Amino acid sequence: MIHTCHLDLRDARTTNEIIGRSGSGDLLPVLNADIGGADTAGIIGARSNAELADRKNPHPVGWRMYEYTWKTVFLHSLVGRAQGLGSSIFGLTAQDALFEVSFPGLTPPQISEALREINSSAFYLRFNQGRYYASLDPSVNIALAKLRRGLDQSAVDALLDATARKVVTSEVSPFDIVADVTAPEHILILI
């Protein structure tokens, strides 16, 4: 059986046909950023958010559960967009997503997990009024992702160390302050 999620949206011809016929060319950035399309390799990081989620929490058998689930949400956002959530054909409910994506080896609880991840990882996919859908409005996840990518762990650690040294000083404390202690033997007891 072929599900909606089995369509290969990384194939440019398939994507052009679907997007062209539905008149949804403005949703191509959504496809490339959140689901994975023919031009995803050209975005920063060269991976979609669904692909990153699949790598972070891989399916035991290797099914791309986040990509499959998010792709189904995206495809259900191509029609009824003018009316938005006022249209009965725009977006899909969690129950519909479970029915459309689940198959032997990819269970409803795994689909539910992929749907929950939309709120924290997707840039353009949304859950509102009981339905999942793709939106052209970026979410706060875009800003957070840019901040996370710009952070260097060693710079964060250095800032935390410097801040801790400013807060805890010998002038503020009646105790002797010993910095950079990683083991008990690093402290020399002065009596």
Alpha-carbon distance of 140 to 81, in angstroms, equals: 22
Q: How far apart are CA 105 and CA 150, in angstroms?
A: 37
Q: Calculate mean pLDDT across residues 114-120.
A: 93
For 165-180, what is the mean pLDDT?
69
pLDDT of res. 113: 97
- Band of residue 110 on the pLDDT scale cut at 50, 70, 90: very high
Q: Which tens digits make up the pLDDT trace of 122-145?
A: 899 999 999 999 999 877 777 677
Average pLDDT, the chain: 87
Residues with Cβ < 8 Å from 131, sequence gap 6 or more?
A: 85, 90, 91, 92, 93
**Domain layout of the chain by residue ranges:** 4-144
Phi and psi, residue 100, nearest 5°:
-80, -25
- Residue 71: the pLDDT is 96
Sequence-ordered alpha helix ranges (H) in the chain: 12-22, 28-30, 49-56, 65-75, 94-101, 108-121, 140-150, 153-167
